[in-house]
C-alpha cells in the first residue's frame, strides 16, 4: 500500500512539473508604453512654449498578437485617466503597426510622420545582445535581463521569458531566446512593459501586414527621413539640444 501511495505521489509531482514546463506559442500580450514627452522635446524655445500644455508622461497601450512564429504589434488606446493626450501628440499613432514573420525573417512596418504614410519592408534587423544573470517577474513570467544596442548607438535594456517561444518583442526589438516582456530605452525616454497575456480567442487573422502600393527598405527610408529632418530644422540653432532632439526623432521613426 505504501508503495502504491509513493508511486501516486511521484506521478502527481511529475504531472505538475510537466504543466509548469509547458511553452506558449500563441496569444495576445498587452503592453503599457510610457514616454516622457517633455524630455523628448528638449529645450528648444519653440517646444518650451508648449510644455505647459502637455503632460509630462504619455501612456499608451499596444497589443502584440502572435501565432505560428509570426506577430503583429499595434496601437490600441491611450490611458486618458492618467493624462489627457493633446491632439498633436496623437497624430499617426493609430496607424502604426509592426509585422514580423520569424520563419522567413520578413519585417513590414507602417508609420505616419509629418502627415505622410511610410511603409517599410525589409529583413528583420539583428540586435547584438548580452545576457545578464539579473531577473524579474513581469506579467507573471520569470524574465531574464539582456542588454542590446540598436541604430548603432542606442542601448536597450530588455527582459525576456523562454516560456513564450516566439523570439519577438514590442516595436522592432527582438532576437532573444524567448518573448521580450519588458523594454527600457533611456535615450528615448520610453519604457514598454507587458501587463497581461491572453491565450484564449486569439485573433490569428489579424496577424498580417498592412498592404501598401509602395514599400521602402530601411536604407531608403533613413535617407528620406534624414532629408526631411534637415528641411524641417533648417532654421533651428545648431546646438546640442537640437542635435539630441533630431536624434530622438530619427530613432523614434526607425525603431
Helices (H), ranges, the chain: 2-20, 37-41, 45-48, 87-90, 218-232, 240-254
Q: Count of H helices and E strands in the chain? A: 6, 11
Q: Is the pLDDT of residue 45 over 50?
A: yes
DSSP assignment of 194-220: EEEEE-SS--GGG-SPPP-S--B-HHH
| Domain 25-254 falls under CATH 2.40.160 | no
Report the pLDDT value the prediction gives residue 245, as an integer from 0 to 100: 66
Mean local confidence (pLDDT), 154-169: 97
Report the pLDDT value the prediction gives residue 146, as an integer from 0 to 100: 98
Q: What are the pLDDT digits (tens) for 184-204?
A: 999 999 999 999 999 999 999
Q: What are the pLDDT digits (tens) for 49-98?
A: 777 778 888 899 999 999 999 999 999 999 877 777 777 677 667 788 99
**Does residue 136 contact residue 193 with C-beta atoms inside 8 Å?**
no
Q: Which of 19-28, 53-62, 103-112, 207-216 has the lowest mean pLDDT?
A: 19-28
SS3 state of residue 31: strand
- Which candidate, 130, 128, 110, places its Cα nearest to that of 119? 110
Between residues 15 and 163, the one the model is more confident about: 163
**Chain-centre distance for alpha carbon 148:** 14
Q: Is the pLDDT of residue 2 over 60?
A: no
**Confidence band (pLDDT; 50, 70, 90) for 107?**
very high
Q: What are the pLDDT digits (tens) for 210-244?
A: 889 999 998 898 888 888 777 766 666 565 666 66
**Chain-centre distance for alpha carbon 49:** 30
Mean local confidence (pLDDT), 201-208: 96
Report the pLDDT value the prediction gives residue 237, as an integer from 0 to 100: 57
Give the separation between CA 188 and CA 204, rounded to whole angstroms. Answer: 32
Give the separation between CA 150 and CA 172, rounded to whole angstroms. Answer: 9
Place of cell 491632439: 87
Place of cell 509547458: 22
Report the pLDDT value the prediction gives residue 165, as an integer from 0 to 100: 96
Share of the chain above pLDDT 70, in %: 80
Q: Is the pLDDT of residue 20 over 60?
A: no
What is the average pLDDT value for the chain, to the nearest integer?
Answer: 84
With a CB cutoff of 8 Å and minimum separation 6, the contacts of 176 are 129, 146, 158, 160, 167, 169
Predicted model pTM: 0.85
Q: What are the pLDDT digits (tens) for 138-153?
A: 999 999 999 999 888 8
Residue 159: C-alpha distances to residues 27, 67, 152 (Å): 18, 21, 21
Report the pLDDT value the prediction gives residue 233, as an integer from 0 to 100: 65
For 168, counting Cβ atoms within 10 Å of its Cβ (0-12 exposed, 13-18 middle, 19+ buried), the class is buried
Give the separation between CA 197 and CA 200, rounded to whole angstroms. Answer: 9
Amino acid at each position: 500500500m505504501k508503495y502504491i501511495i509513493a508511486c501516486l505521489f511521484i506521478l502527481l509531482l511529475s504531472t505538475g512539473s510537466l504543466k509548469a514546463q509547458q511553452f506558449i506559442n500563441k496569444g495576445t500580450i498587452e503592453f503599457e508604453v510610457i514616454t516622457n514627452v517633455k524630455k523628448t522635446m528638449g529645450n528648444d524655445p519653440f517646444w518650451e512654449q508648449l510644455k505647459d500644455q502637455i503632460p509630462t508622461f504619455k501612456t499608451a497601450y499596444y497589443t502584440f498578437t502572435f501565432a505560428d512564429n509570426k506577430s503583429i504589434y499595434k496601437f490600441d488606446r491611450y490611458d486618458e485617466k492618467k493624462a489627457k493626450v493633446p491632439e498633436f501628440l496623437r497624430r499617426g499613432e493609430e496607424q502604426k503597426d509592426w509585422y514580423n514573420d520569424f520563419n522567413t525573417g520578413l519585417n513590414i512596418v507602417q508609420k505616419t510622420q509629418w502627415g505622410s504614410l511610410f511603409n517599410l519592408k525589409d529583413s528583420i534587423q539583428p540586435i547584438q545582445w548580452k545576457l545578464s544573470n539579473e531577473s524579474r517577474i513581469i506579467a507573471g513570467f520569470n524574465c531574464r535581463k539582456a542588454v542590446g544596442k540598436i541604430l548603432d548607438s542606442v542601448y536597450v535594456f530588455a527582459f525576456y521569458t523562454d516560456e513564450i517561444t516566439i523570439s519577438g518583442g514590442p516595436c522592432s526589438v527582438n532576437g532573444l531566446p524567448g518573448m521580450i516582456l519588458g523594454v527600457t530605452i533611456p535615450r528615448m525616454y520610453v519604457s514598454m512593459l507587458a501587463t497581461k497575456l491572453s491565450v484564449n480567442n486569439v485573433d490569428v487573422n489579424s496577424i498580417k501586414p498592412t498592404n501598401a502600393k509602395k514599400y521602402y527598405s530601411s536604407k531608403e527610408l533613413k535617407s528620406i527621413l534624414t532629408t526631411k529632418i534637415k528641411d524641417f530644422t533648417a532654421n533651428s540653432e545648431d546646438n546640442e539640444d537640437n542635435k539630441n532632439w533630431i536624434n530622438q526623432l530619427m530613432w523614434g521613426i526607425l525603431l
